[in-house]
Amino acid sequence: MKDWTAIRERYLRDDLPVRLGGLAANLHRIKSFAENDANREVVESIIDESKFFIEWTAAEAEIDIAAELVELQIQLARWQCNWSRMWSDLEQRRQMADQSRMWSERLLKISGLLHS
């Protein structure tokens, strides 16, 4: 079991752009790992971690960024609610991977890290 308190403390040391970049990296990992059926548990874990990252970040973000993070968190929760069916359906898993890639790109843009 992960020590979420330690992870939270470490995560919150970074400024908002770096946190958004970390979340974007997680979403890119989902995209990459979803390509292999054997990575089910890894992807589940990354989704859980990403939901925590959003929770810890949204409160400190500007309202428009917070709204996008809430939208992403809802998407992650939907994936979890339909997890067994979605993971076993290759087309649905590909859609999840594609959505993860799009969210990753969006968060990188929002973070401003690519322009620094």
In DSSP notation, 8-19 reads HHHHTTS-HHHH
Reported confidence tier of residue 1, pLDDT bands at 50, 70, 90: confident
pLDDT tens profile 40-92: 999 999 999 999 999 999 999 999 999 999 999 999 999 999 999 999 999 99
116 confidence band (pLDDT: 50, 70, 90): low
pLDDT in tens, 3-44: 999 999 999 999 999 999 999 999 999 999 999 999 999 999
pLDDT band of residue 114 (cuts 50, 70, 90) is confident
| pTM of structure | 0.92
- Cα(21)–Cα(105) distance, integer angstroms: 10
Q: Among 53, 34, 28, 7, which residue's Cα sits nearest to residue 94?
A: 34
DSSP state of 36: S
Residue 2 scores a pLDDT above 90? no
